[in-house]
Amino acid sequence: MEKALLNVEGMSCGHCVKAVEGSVGKLDGVERVLVDLKEKTVAVEYKNDSVTLDKIKETIEDQGYDIV
């Protein structure tokens, strides 16, 4: 199991939390995902034989947010 903490710009409300946690959480291989609005972070735990960190970042960007 891998862990990553991403800094993400643009998440501002509960809808944003749902959009990010919902989309990332649906990826095969993602075990846990947790958004912290205040810290502007997304914490993920994933199996790196099923999903790449690049794929996770791309999924967040597809929801309209920027990885910094």
Contact residues: a copy of itself, CB under 8 A: 10, 12-16, 18-19, 64
With beta carbons less than 8 A apart as the criterion, state whether 5 and 57 touch.
no
Q: How far is the CB of 53 from a copy of itself (least distance, A)?
A: 25
Q: Which of 64, 61, 17, 63 is nearest to 43 (CA)?
A: 17
Residue nearer to a copy of itself on the CB measure, 41 or 52: 41
Residues in the chain: 68
Q: How far is the CB of 48 from a copy of itself (least distance, A)?
A: 30
**What is the rounded CA–CA span in Å between residue 44 and residue 7?**
11
Residue nearer to a copy of itself on the CB measure, 10 or 29: 10
